[in-house]
Amino acid sequence: MKKILLCVIALLATSVNQAQKNKKATATETALTQHYEKYYKMMLKNNDLDGAIEGLSHLLVLSPSETKKDTLAYMYLQANKSFQALSVAGNSTSDLALRTKAIAFKNLNNPKKAIENYEALLKKNSNVLDAYELAQLQFGIQRFGEAKETILYGLQNSKDEKVRIFIKGNSYIETPIKAAFLNILGLIEYNLDKGNVEKAVAIFDEALKIDPEFLLALENKKGLTSKSEKNKTSENK
Whether 221 contacts 205, CB under 8 Å: yes
* Tens digit of each residue's pLDDT, the chain (237 residues): 555 555 544 455 455 455 455 555 466 668 889 999 999 999 999 999 999 999 999 999 999 999 999 999 999 999 999 999 999 999 999 999 999 999 999 999 999 999 999 999 999 998 999 999 999 999 999 999 999 999 999 999 999 899 999 887 778 899 999 999 999 999 999 999 988 899 999 999 999 999 999 999 999 999 999 876 666 655 555
Q: How far is CA 20 from CA 10, 25, 135, in A?
A: 15, 9, 61
Rounded CA gap, 130 and 135, in Å? Answer: 9
pTM: 0.82
Q: Max Cα separation, the chain?
A: 122
Rounded CA gap, 232 and 13, in Å? Answer: 100
Whether 153 contacts 127, CB under 8 Å: no
